[in-house]
């Protein structure tokens, strides 16, 4: 199950996993339908909480975990965070709510990682925190410099979380990108 699978990272992940996508364009609004989506999540072993709509990701994570606890579920919940959770921005930058929402998502996701670690739940919860993504929409923004996190790298981060032994849960993976113009500044690593 992938939320926000109609474009960008969500579309890429839904295609890679051949997953069911739940998005506003398909009649699911995470800010309104989080309880219904939480119940629907019981049919899946992997839920990727990707769609961003204000505090919606946090509400959805709360709903999913409540249903999974009630059913004593195993499985994996992957939350897609943003590096805005790491920064304090000035209100004039118009990122303050985004950063606060992503910080809330990070905190709640790591609470559930801790719950797995301490044996309170059987499901694993991981957070993938990413910088600017290389998507068609991202390339149209005035801030685009030519560098963004490649979507296949995000997929590999999720795969790492899934490949861990059943007794292991990755709490968080962060990916920063060199924002300077020109990806030619960074070459392959020599062995």
What range defines the domain where residue 78 resides? 2-178
Q: Is the pTM of this model over 0.85?
A: yes
pLDDT digits (tens, 9 = 90+) for 74-89: 999 999 998 877 776 5
Residue 184 resides in a domain: no
Segment 37-61 shows an average pLDDT of: 95
Nearest C-alpha neighbor of 9 from the set 149, 174, 162, 178: 149
pLDDT digits (tens, 9 = 90+) for 111-137: 999 999 999 999 999 999 998 899 998
pLDDT at residue 182, as a whole number: 57
The pLDDT > 70 percentage for the chain reads 90
CATH assignment at residue 125: 3.40.50.720
Mean pLDDT of the chain: 90
Sheet with 172-175, edge to edge strand ranges = 21-22, 2-3, 46-49, 76-82, 124-130, 172-175
Kindly write down the DSSP assignment for every residue of 165-180, as one continuous string: -TT----EEEE----S
Residue 190 resides in a domain: no
Segment 11-28 shows an average pLDDT of: 95
Residue 186 resides in a domain: no
pLDDT beyond 80 at 91: no
> How many structural domains compose the chain?
1
The CA angle 46-103-170, to the nearest 5 degrees, is 40
pLDDT at residue 54, as a whole number: 82
* Number of CB atoms found within 10 A of residue 127's CB: 27
């Amino acid at each position: 199950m992938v939320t926000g699978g109609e474009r960008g990272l969500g579309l890429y992940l839904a295609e890679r996993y051949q997953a069911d996508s739940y998005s506003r364009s398909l009649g699911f609004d995470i800010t309104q339908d989080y309880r219904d989506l939480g119940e629907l999540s019981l049919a899946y072993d992997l839920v990727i909480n990707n769609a961003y709509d204000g505090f919606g990701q946090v509400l959805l994570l709360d709903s999913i975990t409540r249903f999974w606890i009630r059913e004593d579920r195993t499985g994996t919940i992957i939350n897609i965070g943003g590096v805005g959770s790491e920064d304090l921005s000035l209100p004039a930058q118009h990122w303050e709510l985004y950063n606060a929402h992503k910080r809330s998502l990070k905190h709640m996701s790591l609470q559930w990682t801790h719950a797995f670690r301490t044996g309170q739940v059987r499901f694993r919860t991981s957070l993938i925190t990413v910088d600017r993504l290389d998507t068609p929409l991202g390339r149209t923004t005035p801030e685009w410099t030519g560098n963004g996190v490649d979507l296949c790298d995000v997929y590999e981060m999720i795969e790492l979380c899934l490949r861990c032994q059943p007794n292991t849960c990755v709490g968080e993976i962060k990916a920063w990108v060199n924002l300077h113009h020109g990806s030619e500044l960074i070459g392959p690593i020599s062995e």
